[in-house]
Structure 1
Amino acid sequence: MSRPVRRSRPWATRSCRDCLGWGWFDRPRCKACWGFVAKATSRYCDICQRDVAAIDGVCRLCRRQAGLIAGPDNKTCVDLTVAAHTGHQLFIIGTLRPRGGPPPRPVPPEPTRVSLRSVPPRWTELTLFDMPRNLCGVSSKQPLLDPELAAFLSSRAARIAELRGWPPRTVGSMGRGIRILCAVQRPGERIRASTIAQLTHTAVPANHVLKVFEGLEVFLDDRPDSLDRWYHKHFAFLAPDIRAELDTWIGLLRDGTSRRRPRARSTIGTLLRLVLPFLTEYGGKYTTLRQVTRDDLATWLTNRPYRAYEASALRSLFGALKAERLIFSNPMRGIKGGRLTTTIPSPLTAEEVAEVAQAAQQDPALRVVVALSGIHALAAHQIRTLLLDQVDLAGCRLELESLNRPLDEYTAEAITDYLDYRRSRWPNSTNPHLLVSRNTATTTTAVGTFWLDKLVQPLPVGLDRLRQDRILEEALASGADPLHLAHVFSLGAKTSLRYTTAVAPSAAEHETP
């Protein structure tokens, strides 16, 4: 009797009968399952309750699921019954382990040299949906998705902390914030400033973390501009053409041209606030600023309380539009805004001087401010930005950008006492400015106007009155000489004449024998 000829099944993509894995083969079972069937001890799996080949009551698919759950580092204690409550993870045959023996042992990577200049260039994963990150519930103990970036940021944070004298508590909070970010950010994904700002809710100083990310390619600054936000909020009622013309004017103020220098941010905000009342009243009548007439401007400026300032802002607006050829003629041409109101400086009374001296003894920082304003007549912005290098205690000199004068005994003593207080309060601070606060001690920025205004609240008068009193005293002692005042206090011509005019009668009485 002849032996029956076995007909081979065609090769095709099919599923294995036992392990349910997909692959390219010509048999009902894959090659691995054929070997498992030869060693099987039963034909029923107690875990998945299927009629398949099993060893000790566990089929090959359930054994693979148990090994998958255990992971590569926990092969010694495998729970073979895990598939009963987790189910099975299907797979493609030939992708889990390459043929030809066990996989090669991975070569340990070389130690990465962390550079403080920039993150090494790597591949970038493009995002399908631009969704904001939510750090609520993220722990710093979670596994890092980007260990290389975490190592680089930690080294950079340690370097910045050493340079700026951050306390150990701040350094620890910084490390925790970096681990939280690297636990949610995938390799190659840019970290947004809005995501870093969420660290504030986890007791992490977000402003310090932003200092670590500044200048890096992985950092995306998406913080909205407060000036743009205010502009879009208050000028949203205008017609689109008027908004476009205002955008051109604001662009010239910010960037400048070959004939126009860029304006400061505070100046742009002031100009926008000055033109807002006119546009609020007349903006509904126009679709473009080309329709504004000279009579409309003259009528509106007639009874305005700040006529001179508002006329100057409108002159800047229409002058810029005329230079850019967005309007046919300048309607502000020939309209006079009037003179700016000038106040007459007045000296302090004896009671005010005594109250200032008594209040200055309560705070070392306030005593320094009173000395610099009341003796050396420094303006508020000069006091806030005064550097330690500009104070020479050994040589008893005060060297500012345009001033070089001797340091009196009272001011030198006040600065010495304040430096002792600063060293005891912030011993590791590297801020180059003389005055520091709790927020600026770990940075390189100057104190703000809010901090200075709060500091001088105990005084009966403001810093302007202290400065005016000192300049009036010098004007009276010099015989009302405007050139002397301009040289000593770096004043302009009009400002010097305003002080000399205020003390002219008193100076004449002193000169009379």
Structure 2
Amino acid sequence: MGLFPTPARQFARTHAARISDRNISGFDAVSEQLQQMADERQVRARTMWIWRLEGFARLALAARDPDQHLVATEALKDLLYNGPILGQALDRAGLLAPPPPRRVVPPRGTGPTRQGGQRDPELRGQCTHRLAWANDRRVLCVPCASWCSEMRKRGGHEAECDRCHRTLMLSAGICRLCRIIVAETEVDTAQIAMKNGEQLWFARPHAAGLAVGRLLPGTAALQGRFALKRRLARARAETARRPSEYLLDPAQLELFPTPPRDWTRLDTSSPPALTPTAANLVADFTAYMRGRGWNTDSFSGSVRTLRIATGHLGADLPIRESDIRALASTFANLQGARVINYLRLRGLLNAQPPSDPCIARARHHATAITHPAFAAAVHTFIDVLLGQGGTTSRACSPKTVENYVAAILDILEAWTADGLTDPREITKKHVEDALAPLRGDEARRLHTALRSFFRALKRERLTFRDPARSISLTSNRTVPTALPSDRIAGLLDRLDAPRDRLMVALVAVYALLPGQLVHLRRTDLDRSKGRLRLRRAGRMDHVIYLDAFTLRLATAWEVQRYWRWPDSSNPHLFVTRNTAVDDSGPPISAGVVQQLFQRVGLPAGRLRVDRIVDEARHTADPVRLMDLFGLSNLSATRYVLSAHPDKNDGPIAP
């Protein structure tokens, strides 16, 4: 190894002219590569370009050591112009030596300074931070001095380095030399970083416990040469990757259904290379998100999910929805909802059968029952409620199914603990004993669920009789009452969002139910005629005629929705920021309506009852309530009797 570095030198075209008549070994091979590079780059001034580079090629080849056949990489820095291009030509000709292990030395042309900042040409290279030669005086090169000054401005101070254990000015716990070494190791594109070794310094104690090869994230700068090296490293890693071995082949038929894939062992640090079809699909997905007005930085998890799925499975066959959901649930930084919607639009999704969470919970409760006979009976009960029994019937809502199953679980477990092993052993006495200790809504809830349960079993011929058929409960029916006027005054003034104001107005003025708000569609609102249609399963649609104030609220909401989500394809009238961009068009959840009225301070049901009671006070005609609010005859009669108790003896009395 040379004790002193090679002195600085610069070769120009005048130096090349002096050796133009020499016969230099390897020059013809380099000249041939320059000719090919000129063809590839379609150089206009071809003759001048080749002539200039050939002159520098003679200088680089002539500057080789006598015993060396290859041109050293650091010798290219001596050329005044076109060093990188000539290095590429030498490399293609096989005349460029591999770069040597990197040595961290002070940059050329920068002399060290004393502690006070004075230049001392006799102390060249003797920098305490980067190299420590045999000299006890504390000196710093110009870059290190500037770096220390900047660290002091930021409130830094000298302390022991976590890596080399020297007492120097630190940044993030390490000195400047260690930062450079770690940064070079982090973005080592030329394979020249010092691994399992370290730059030595002299006339100083050896750094005991040196953390060799330790990587500290964020050490390399985000801009400059390290950022360039980082991009080159990513490009090299992208080129070195290979396609997955488990790509779905369209020509291969499925022999048997495959079980759900387990993505927990997936190594996301080195994903496989994308096929051309998969790469085009990922690019189109990114363009699709930009076209919808979404911020792609906020949804990078969706892009990452699609990249991983198509990288491992390909894009030639539809991808199972269960695989996307399993992949997204495995890692916290992955998202699958928008990927599923996008693949559905492109016809590349193998959708799984839809499942309602209420029905899934009801099935889970039924499976958890201790005795298998009662568990099978509850599953049959669920089938009947869903209209899937032996006799066709109208299906109940999923929430009703869950409530019925949840109501009878405890009593079924109690009967199992008492030694009953079959629903056919249940008698009227058992049902009465179960209802005896209960009161109010709890007793009525269990009574309704048991009657429905045994009626379904008898219809499916699993029991001989219905033990709950002749059991009745006496319960008090609450009388609808109005709310105090001070709780309703200024109700809309508490809200700012047009959507929230419209929802509260529909409940407070037209007595809509929260479930009706959830399922309203944009086509149900006819603003030109001022009408709103309510869809009712098994009954005729109810038409509401809106007043001018409610129409203004509806117009304000439509305008806001258009400006926020102009490309939204959700058919429902009320949307959230999640459902508006969901191409499957789901309705808002009931929790959105519930949270709205919690902010207002009034339950939606109490506000609806207050509106109907107020209308009943102004009219004693139940038909008027039926036409205005779509009530049944019994409900309308009850509201009229509540508002006019003196009419209990009249012809409308029950």
TM-score range with shorter-chain normalisation? Answer: 0.5 to 0.7
State yes or no: 1:133 paired with 2:263.
yes
- Inter-partner Cα distance in structure 2 for 1:450 and 1:182: 35
| Counterpart pick for 1:221 among 345, 349, 352 | 352
| Counterpart pick for 2:370 among 226, 238, 254 | 238
State yes or no: 1:410 paired with 2:549.
yes
- Inter-partner Cα distance in structure 2 for 1:301 and 1:501: 31
**How far does the alpha carbon of each residue in 1:54-97 deviate from its partner, in whole angstroms, 9 at most, with x for none?**
xxxxxxxxxxxxxxxxxxxxx998xxxxxxxxxxxxxxxxxxxx
Structure 1 pair 486/120, CA: closer, same or farther in 2 (3 Å)? farther
State the partner residue of 2:183: none
Aligned pairs (5 A) from 1:331-480: 331-339=467-475, 341-360=476-495, 362-401=496-535, 402-443=541-582, 444-478=585-619, 480=620
Q: Work out the number of aligned pairs and report it.
A: 391
State yes or no: 1:167 paired with 2:294.
yes
Letter in 1 for 2:305: G
Structure 1 pair 379/280, CA: closer, same or farther in 2 (3 Å)? same
Structure 1 pair 448/140, CA: closer, same or farther in 2 (3 Å)? farther
State yes or no: 1:321 paired with 2:457.
yes
State yes or no: 1:179 paired with 2:307.
yes
Aligned pairs (5 A) from 1:7-406: 121-124=250-253, 132-134=262-264, 136-138=266-268, 142-144=272-274, 148=277, 165=292, 167=294, 169=296, 174-185=302-313, 191=320, 193-199=322-328, 201=331, 203-213=333-343, 219=350, 221=352, 226=357, 227-228=359-360, 231-232=363-364, 236-254=368-386, 255-284=388-417, 285-305=419-439, 306-339=442-475, 341-360=476-495, 362-401=496-535, 402-406=541-545
Which structure has more relative contact order (CA 8 Å, sep 6+)? It is 1
- Inter-partner Cα distance in structure 2 for 1:277 and 1:315: 16
Letter in 1 for 2:484: T
Q: TM-score when scaled to structure 1? A: 0.66
- Inter-partner Cα distance in structure 2 for 1:147 and 1:258: 53
- Inter-partner Cα distance in structure 1 for 2:259 and 2:610: 63
- What is the percent sequence identity of the aligned residues? 26
Structure 1 pair 385/481, CA: closer, same or farther in 2 (3 Å)? same
Q: Which residues of structure 1 form unaligned runs of 5+?
A: 1-74, 78-118, 509-513
**How far does the alpha carbon of each residue in 1:90-144 deviate from its partner, in whole angstroms, 9 at most, with x for none?**
xxxxxxxxxxxxxxxxxxxxxxxxxxxxx99531466999751237542696313
Q: TM-score when scaled to structure 2? A: 0.53
Structure 1 pair 481/280, CA: closer, same or farther in 2 (3 Å)? same
- Inter-partner Cα distance in structure 1 for 2:349 and 2:597: 43
State the partner residue of 1:482: 622
Structure 1 pair 344/122, CA: closer, same or farther in 2 (3 Å)? farther
Q: Which one has a bigger Cα radius of gyration?
A: 2
Q: 1:411 deviation in Å? A: 0.9
Structure 1 pair 242/403, CA: closer, same or farther in 2 (3 Å)? closer
Q: 1:442 deviation in Å? A: 0.5
Structure 1 pair 234/317, CA: closer, same or farther in 2 (3 Å)? closer
**How far does the alpha carbon of each residue in 1:412-466 deviate from its partner, in whole angstroms, 9 at most, with x for none?**
2222222333333333323222221121110222211111111222223211122
Letter in 2 for 1:199: A
State yes or no: 1:492 paired with 2:632.
yes
CA contact (8 A) 1:139 1:180 kept: no
Structure 1 pair 349/297, CA: closer, same or farther in 2 (3 Å)? same
Q: 1:391 deviation in Å? A: 2.2
Q: Which moved more, 1:264-273 or 1:248-257?
A: 248-257
CA contact (8 A) 1:192 1:222 kept: no
The alignment yields a C-alpha RMSD, in angstroms, of: 3.9
Structure 1 pair 303/212, CA: closer, same or farther in 2 (3 Å)? same
CA contact (8 A) 2:511 2:612 kept: yes
Q: Which moved more, 1:152-161 or 1:409-418?
A: 152-161
CA contact (8 A) 1:396 1:407 kept: yes
SS at match of 2:507: helix
Letter in 2 for 1:436: V
Q: 1:295 deviation in Å? A: 0.9
Q: 1:277 deviation in Å? A: 2.4
- Inter-partner Cα distance in structure 2 for 1:278 and 1:161: 55
Q: 1:369 deviation in Å? A: 1.4
Q: 1:157 deviation in Å? A: 9.2
- Inter-partner Cα distance in structure 2 for 1:304 and 1:206: 46
CA contact (8 A) 1:166 1:442 kept: no
